[in-house]
Amino acid sequence: LISAATLAEVAEIAGVGQSTVSRVLRNHGSFSTSTRDKVLAAVSGLGYVPNRIAGSLASAGSRLVAIVVPSLSNIVFADLLTGASNALEQKGIQCVIGVTDYDAQREETLIASMLAWRPAAIMVAGLEHTEPSLRMLRVSGARVAELLDIDGEGVDLVVGFSNRAAGAASAQHLLSRGYRRIGYVGHDLERDKRAGKRYAAFRDTLLEAGFPLSDLQTAPAGSSVEVGRVGLEALLARSPRLDAVYFSNDDMAIGGYFHCLSRDISIPGELALFGYNGLNIATVAPQPLTTIRTPRTLVGKVGAELVISAAPAQTIDLGFELIVGATA
């Protein structure tokens, strides 16, 4: 950066002390109307923009919130960020974001480098982190919010919903509709811990009901429409008699839906489909997808508001909603 005006220059031009300029600019403390006008005139004359780096150093409070998410291509996290960023922007807080690509090691590195900016708070996705990550989060002094999952132990604030409960509810819905030969199509559950929890609860619920999961097909890849389509194709090639399939999320389910369309598999007559997330596209399809809608944007908003507040450590369950569409 080149020369930017400084507080000292503003003070000089306005003919007042630096602290006075500081007070006026932050509208904190007291000053006369006339000094305020002088200061403001000098500020706009110089095109002065306060240096927050210096401000943060001096006040030991950084108006910066770090947000670490696994991915941005997944709309879930984009929505989360939208909610959080709106809430933070309103408070004049900037957000620094990092993308882990579902890699716990990378998350650890990212957390370390974000902490170097001494953020007032840090928001991360999920409750599963490496030991060093957890240690850093605990000792950083920054407020911590873990989002989108409440099945487990949190460091400080936890805002989300139960992925286990969602998986179980999905299984129960399919069972209650009479489906018995149920399959699963998923993406990489090793990396996406929340999808893994949904799957586990789904499978266990079926098992307890006496109708164990018939077959499953997972791919060591991120979720996408394509992976869902290919996954369902592979699953049906192996287990053609399935009557329902649970997908790791809506993107995957839309892929499955596309497969059925192109093979003229009638839905839900021949095969029922169940997704997760409640994406717009899923609800607008010719046959709206039966799925679970999650309050992602709200999680971001509530998480952000809480994390910059003085609220005590707590877990907040924002719940989810089962949307009965036309596919199951």
Partner DNA sequence: GTGAAAGCGCTAACAG
Partner DNA sequence: CTGTTAGCGCTTTCAC
The footprint of a copy of itself (CB under 8 A) covers 1-4, 47, 49-54, 56-57, 60-62, 64, 71-73, 75, 78-79, 81-82, 85-86, 89, 92, 94-99, 110, 112-118, 120, 135-136, 139-142, 224-226, 229, 251, 254-255, 258, 261-262, 280-281, 283-286
Distance CA 278, CA 265 (A): 23
Residue in this structure with the two tokens 């021949």, named with its chain if needed: 270
Cβ proximity of 15 and 38 under 8 Å: yes
Choose from a copy of itself, DNA, none: what does 172 bind? Cβ within 5-8 Å by kind: none
Choose from DNA, a copy of itself, none: what does 16 bind? Cβ within 5-8 Å by kind: DNA
Question: Of residues 13, 20, 146, 182, which one binds DNA by CB under 7 A?
Answer: 20
- Contact between 46 and DNA by CB under 7 A: the answer reads no
Q: Which two tokens stand for residue 176?
A: 């209650």
Distance CA 231, CA 241 (A): 16
Cα 293–289–176 angle (5° rounding)?
85
Choose from a copy of itself, DNA, none: what does 110 bind? Cβ within 5-8 Å by kind: a copy of itself
How many other β-carbons are positioned within 10 Å of the β-carbon of residue 212? Answer: 11
- Contact between 25 and DNA by CB under 7 A: the answer reads yes
Nearer to a copy of itself, 50 or 152 (CB): 50
- Contact between 57 and DNA by CB under 7 A: the answer reads yes
Cα 70–71–75 angle (5° rounding)?
125
- Contact between 263 and DNA by CB under 7 A: the answer reads no
- Contact between 2 and DNA by CB under 7 A: the answer reads no
Amino acid at the residue 125: A
HSE-up of residue 25 (Cα within 13 Å, Cβ side): 22
- Please tell me what DSSP assigns to residue 277: B
Q: Which residues bind DNA (CB under 7 A)?
A: 4, 6-8, 15-20, 22-23, 25-26, 28-32, 34-35, 48, 50-51, 54-55, 57-61
